[in-house]
Amino acid sequence: MGQSIYINGEGFKVVGISDSSEVDESGMPVESLIQLPTQQTFNKYMGNLTQGMPQLLVSVEKGSDKKDVGKKVEKALNKKGTGVSEGQYSYEDNEAIMKTIGSVLDTITYFVAAVAGISLFIAGIGVMNVMYISVTERTEEIVIRRAFGAKGRDIEIQFLVDSVVLCLIGGIIGLILGIIITTID
């Protein structure tokens, strides 16, 4: 107690010793924990820790070719780096990763747009068929209306209004069913 221990040439003062039978909130034995006093201490000594893979951040001057610099650093580290015995150094270009992600998202967008376009085309054919069937089933009504003086334009408007009303009713029913289905847990 009160003495210092040195890790990599840095001194740490021992301020307390915990009982080896204690466990923390997660059930881990306290003996396996090292408690550092502040966030600043952690950041100073262990802030460069990553999830299992050490990293080196290289900043390049404006106008420099990032890929070229990255490849040269990778080559130099693989030749003389201290971690060569543990494996190869590798270079990752974030811009290339972002371009790849962007191209994947573009492909997904085009696919969804194509599906939507095909769906609209098929829906248009369905409306056309409904209108055609409606006209063929109502030929007697058309003949009677023509006999009473209705113009061809009046009959066209009647069938267009019928189709619009059918589409609106179908859309509203589809919207309601979609909302109901998506809210079911």
| pLDDT mean over 19-42 | 59
Domain layout of the chain by residue ranges:
1-50, 95-183
* Of the listed ranges 56-60, 93-97, 143-147, 148-152, the one predicted with least confidence: 56-60
d(CA 60, CA 69): 8
pTM over cut 0.75? no
19: Cα separation from own chain's centroid: 46
3-state secondary structure of 7: strand
Max mean pLDDT range (15-24, 84-93, 137-146): 137-146
**pLDDT tens per residue, range 72-115:** 888 887 787 666 666 677 777 778 889 999 999 999 999 999 99
Residue 142 is which amino acid?
A: I
pLDDT of 34 higher than 70 = no
Distance CA 164, CA 157 (A): 10
Q: What whole-number distance in Å separates Cα of residue 152 and Cα of residue 38?
A: 87
Looking at the predicted structure, is the pLDDT value of residue 169 above 90?
Answer: yes
* Helix%, strand%, coil% for the chain, nearest 5: 60, 5, 35
Q: What is the DSSP secondary-structure string of 59-120?
A: ---TTS-HHHHHHHHHHHHHHH-TTGGG-------HHHHHHHHHHHHHHHHHHHHHHHHHHH
Residue with tokens 């001057």: 61
